[in-house]
């Protein structure tokens, strides 16, 4: 890995880390979803700055150049992030289902009490999929 490559890799990792931290600080990214991102950038930083580690890893996995190792690990972390998001989405889907059902049940109960909910034309109603 040339010096330029190393400097660029470190810079990219630092910038990413700063962006993540800023998003968390402004509460645009919740702490509970930021940890995997922070882990990813820290791992990239470590691999980019500690040349001995990346050489050792490259030998371990049989990579020809250290850059390959860096890309491979970055890719693996991104993959993990995506799987993590899929589980988050699954949980959100479950919660939306539960909420929607609860709302529907409450409305049906109100109908039973003889309280008709006014149902005007609702422009805010989302179009069905």
Partner 1 sequence: MLSELQALDPSAAAARETPVASARRRLLVVMPAYNEERRVRQVVERVRGAVPVDVLVVDDGSADATAAEARLGGARVAVHPVNLGYGSALQTGYRYALRHGYDAVLQMDADGQHDPASIPALVAGLDHADVVVGSRFLSGESYRPPLARRVGMWVFGTLARLVAGIRITDPTSGFQAISRSALTFYAHERYPPDYPDADVLAMVARSGLRLTEVPVRMLASPDGKSMHGGVLKPMYYVFRMTLALLLVPLRKETI
Contact residues for partner 1 (CB under 8 A)? 93-94, 96-97, 100-101, 103-105, 107-108, 111-112, 119, 125-129
C-beta closer to partner 1: residue 86 or 111: 111
Cα 15 from Cα 42, distance rounded (Å): 11
Cα 9 from Cα 14, distance rounded (Å): 9
- Residue with the two structure tokens 């993959």: 79
In angstroms, give the least distance from the CB of 89 to partner 1. Answer: 13
C-beta closer to partner 1: residue 39 or 104: 104
C-beta closer to partner 1: residue 28 or 129: 129
In angstroms, give the least distance from the CB of 83 to partner 1. Answer: 17
- What one-character DSSP code corresponds to residue 28? S
Q: Under 8 Å CB-to-CB from 123, ≥6 apart: which residues?
A: none
Q: Token pair for residue 61?
A: 């996995």
Inter-residue contact 36 to 80 (CB < 8 Å): yes
In angstroms, give the least distance from the CB of 105 to partner 1. Answer: 5
C-beta closer to partner 1: residue 59 or 91: 91
Inter-residue contact 91 to 85 (CB < 8 Å): no
In angstroms, give the least distance from the CB of 94 to partner 1. Answer: 6
């Amino acid at each position: 890995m040339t010096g330029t490559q190393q400097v660029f890799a470190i810079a990219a990792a630092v910038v990413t880390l700063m962006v993540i931290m800023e998003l968390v600080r402004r509460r645009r990214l919740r702490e509970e979803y930021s940890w995997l991102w922070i882990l990813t950038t820290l791992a990239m930083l470590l691999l980019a700055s500690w040349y001995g580690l990346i050489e050792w890893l490259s030998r371990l996995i049989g990579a020809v150049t250290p850059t390959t190792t860096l890309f491979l690990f970055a890719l693996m972390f991104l993959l993990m992030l995506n799987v993590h998001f899929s589980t988050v989405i699954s949980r959100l889907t479950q919660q939306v289902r539960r909420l929607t059902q609860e709302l529907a049940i409450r409305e049906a109960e109100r109908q039973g009490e003889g309280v008709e909910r006014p149902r005007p034309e609702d422009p805010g109603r989302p179009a069905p999929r």
